[in-house]
Amino acid sequence: MVQTLWRNGMYFDSQREVGKPSGPYVYRQPAFYLGNRNQGFADTIERYIEILPRTEDLPEALLRIVGIETGPRHRSPPDRVDLVYDLLLTRDANREQKRVIHRLDETGAVLVQGPPGTGKSHTIANLIGHLLAQGKTILVTSHASKALRIVRDKVARPLQSLCVSLLDSDEESTMQLEESITGILKLLLVDHARQARQGHRAPDPHARRAARRAGEAVRAQLLRAITDEHTGLASLGESVAPAEAAKRVRLAAGIHDWIPGR
């Protein structure tokens, strides 16, 4: 390229090799190219345009583009459990990851984008546990088998044996498939024996919600305690930082100990 643009252009493998060039030059250096990845959306819309004449049922996400809402939020059967609040997660989740699951429960479809390392596979693994707890069947697909292996490793260990992996035709995939079948059979046998002894008892969503509210109350108390460590202490019109107040108390030890109360 450099010799095409300039007659005396030079190319170097690294900046250290440049030295004192006699003309324009280019050297190899890592670079980031940032841009919006919108081509996938365009291709998908083109495919839907092709199949529209022979399609009767369209996905909820596509209908919402033209303002048609038919998701669970608009059907709302009277005995529907509040799934938006009742999250059944097998791993820790931050607020953004919980919003993804809320969105899926509300609308039936969700799109998540983000660079590597932002927790997408972790969120998918949490979604798998959440949907399994509702008695649903989950299919996870990817262009690369590596991504599926990562998701399987993120799934909670008790659920990994229930994941039937259809990856490359290598020995590891065959072993995983055998492990999955064995795990599923074992689970079915154990559940059948347990139900025969105790009878089937569905988990109580109200008890889970009560426990979750109690946990949120404890977290709120901890947050207030942490905040109080940094909030100024008001005394006689003066605001003193807790760290500064602690220093004053330490310096006044033995002098003002007679002051009663806290």
Task: Taking residues 132-139, report their average pLDDT.
Answer: 84
Burial level of 52, CB count in 10 A (0-12/13-18/19+)?
exposed
Provide the pLDDT for residue 169: 61
Q: Please count the structural domains in the chain.
A: 2
Residue 241 lies in a domain: yes
pLDDT of residue 17 exceeding 50: yes
Residue 27 lies in a domain: no
CA 253 to CA 260: how far, in whole Å? 14
Residue 61 lies in a domain: no
Start-to-end CA distance of the chain, whole Å, equals 77
Residue 12 lies in a domain: no
Provide the pLDDT for residue 172: 67
Provide the pLDDT for residue 78: 38
- Residue-wise pLDDT for 182-225, tens only, equals 777 777 777 656 655 555 455 667 777 788 788 888 988 888 88
pLDDT of residue 135 exceeding 60: yes
CA distances from 223 to 91, 209, 216, 226, 244 (A): 21, 21, 10, 5, 21
pLDDT of residue 230 exceeding 50: yes
Q: Are residues 170 and 98 in the same domain?
A: yes
Question: Which residue range(s) make up the domain with 117?
Answer: 80-198
Q: Are residues 169 and 127 in the same domain?
A: yes
Q: Are residues 156 and 245 in the same domain?
A: no
Burial level of 238, CB count in 10 A (0-12/13-18/19+)?
exposed
- Residue-wise pLDDT for 151-160, tens only, equals 888 888 877 7
Q: Are residues 234 and 182 in the same domain?
A: no
pTM of the model: 0.48
